[in-house]
Amino acid sequence: MIANTDLGAQTLECATKSKCHVSFRKTHTPVIYYLSPPVVYYESMTEIWFDPKYTTQLIQDLAADEMMFINTKVGGSLLDFEDNVSHETTYSSYYRNFARGQVGELPVGESYGISMQWETG
Tens of pLDDT along 2-18? Answer: 445 555 556 666 767 67
Q: State how far the Cα of 80 lies from the Cα of 85, in Å rounded to an integer.
A: 9
Q: Name which of 116, 120, 119 is nearest 101 in CA terms.
A: 116
Mean pLDDT value of segment 54-61? 66
Alpha-carbon span 54 to 92, nearest angstrom: 9
Amino acid at 116: M
Inform me whether the pLDDT recorded for 23 exceeds 50.
Answer: yes
Domain range summary for the chain, segments of one domain joined by +:
27-120
Q: What is the mean pLDDT of the chain?
A: 76
pLDDT at 92: 80
CB-CB neighbours of 52 under 10 Å: 24
CA–CA separation, 55 vs 77, rounded Å?
23
Q: Which helix (H) or strand (E) holds 56?
A: helix 55-58
Beta bridge partners of residue 102, listed in sequence order: 45, 80
pLDDT at 81: 87
The CATH class given to the 27-120 domain equals: mainly beta
Q: Which residues pair with 49 in a beta bridge?
A: 34, 98
How many residues are recorded in the chain?
A: 121
- The answer to whether the pTM exceeds 0.75 is no
* 8 A C-beta contact, residue 69 and residue 85: yes
